[in-house]
Chains A and B, each alone.
Chain A
């Protein structure tokens, strides 16, 4: 009986509130939802829909089910390029995870040392390349590594490593590694900043307590600080993943849409661009492009889901 009255009271209360508020709420929400839905969500859904169609020369489209994906994964003309791009993209990501996030972690550790003089100057300067366009960075490194200019070999000679130099961007065996390291060089500031912020958030008492208990600097890092910043490392990893599997600008600026030599720097972004717009003799295909984009979307969603349900949950259980 009391329950009944309670709900009826609530309802009586809720009705006028609902009748009065939604107008404001709708007005406040409408512009954001409209633009976001129209130019972000709808195109993504429409791309998935388009990936199930095939177009002919006249521009007429017909529904073909999953045939585009069968072509992408099974047709020798397509699958070789797709798997090559996916493999290169995985290598690109692995290099970022190890080198970029490793250096970022190291720099953040150094910068978070107590009473470090000039810390903010270092942070500002090391973060600077991140602010510049990937295209500009690509061209800068292309000039520096250009054997014609010779600045890279002469710098290497100065430190006694002259024999190591080669046309790194032009060789099939080293091009992908070189392009990855250029990207690492540019974006190291992001993991550095995020990890630095997380390290600052660790209460000093915890570190002092560990030191008083006899832990050396290494143990303090390994057993106290590292476990506490694991959630941030998780965020850094997923940001790296999404950015890497969406990368395009750097390869396009440095190696062009063909991602040479012999497709050795081809990643999913450049493969998508070529499929969509065409190159040289091959005509671009919007529907195959949509299929490639859908495949990329699935890959990114798998990564995000692994992060959300695998990594993030476990990390939170361990640390809090």
Chain B
């Protein structure tokens, strides 16, 4: 196979951009395991026998409850995702399957949330959470994230449900199966592939969000990992080992999950765009 010079130029351009995209992240990861002296003397070098240290991580674990923050983030993200998929699929099913008056209107009403950021309602959301006694609880975050994620999830799941062959549900109806069982036993298992797509659009923003944790749950050990890192670094700005270690701890789980699931995530993103 002939390699044209044009192709080589394309690869050089893409490789250079990939280095630009990954370089800063790699830089943080390698320096997190080096002594302070080595961080400054040779920032581009890999840690070796002389420069390796885990002092930053020791300090992070001694001074901040990262395990707890991580668990908080995990709880909020997973509960939100499960609720978004379940409740969203129910609504998407109702809107795509049944013809009833107000169908289009409800669809449009739900679509408002895709374009208008819920963040702008923060003043009232905080007031409401204070009245409900939900400040500094994970429940407050979950409720807000479910409300935030539903509109897009309903759109994506609706498109997916439309592709499920009509025969399946009609056959079930002929057998006298109730509408609830049709949904829970036939439709819900069939949409599991769409969950990856919904996850791209709902899980990542929830995991990474700073705004709502900062406003609704900034203390009491209810911080999410993003807020926890932000607060920790605010206190330990000058401790380079600790800062680099805390950044690494925040990056690592996302990195691992992304490299495992990237195929599904990337496919979900491009499929969502194609419609």
Contact = CB atoms under 8 A, between A and B. Distances in A.
A25 B147 contact: no
B25 A129 contact: yes
Given A43-B128, A120-B266, A127-B266, A139 B120 contact: no
Contacts of B127: 46, 286
B124 A36 contact: no
B52 interface: no
Interface residues of A, number: 86
Interface string A58-92: 00000000000000000000000000000000000
| B interface majority secondary structure | helix
Contacts of B211: 248-249
A136 B251 contact: yes
Contacts of B128: 39, 43
Contacts of B11: 117-118
A169 B143 CA distance: 36
Given A36-B151, A47-B120, A304 B115 contact: yes
A32 B230 CA distance: 32
A15 B27 CA distance: 68
Given A44-B116, A301-B116, A132 B251 contact: yes
B10 interface: yes
A120 B263 CA distance: 9
A151 B43 contact: yes
Contact of B154 (A32, A38, A41): A32
A46 to B, nearest CB: 4
Interface stretch (A160-168, A191-199, A310-318): A191-199
Interface size class of B (residues with CB under 8 A): 35 or more
B232 to A, nearest CB: 10
B136 interface: no
A42 B274 CA distance: 32
Q: Top 4 closest A-B pairs, CB basis?
A: A43-B121, A32-B91, A39-B147, A28-B94
14 contacts: A27-B90, A29-B91, A32-B87, A32-B90, A36-B151, A43-B125, A117-B11, A128-B21, A133-B210, A133-B250, A141-B24, A188-B21, A246-B117, A293-B122
Interface of B: 7, 10-11, 13-14, 17-18, 20-22, 24-25, 27-28, 39-40, 43-44, 87-88, 90-91, 93-95, 98, 100, 106, 109-110, 112-113, 115-125, 127-128, 143-144, 146-148, 150-151, 154, 179-180, 183, 204, 207-211, 214-215, 226, 229-230, 233, 240, 243-244, 247, 250-251, 254-255, 258, 262-263, 265-266, 269-271, 273-274
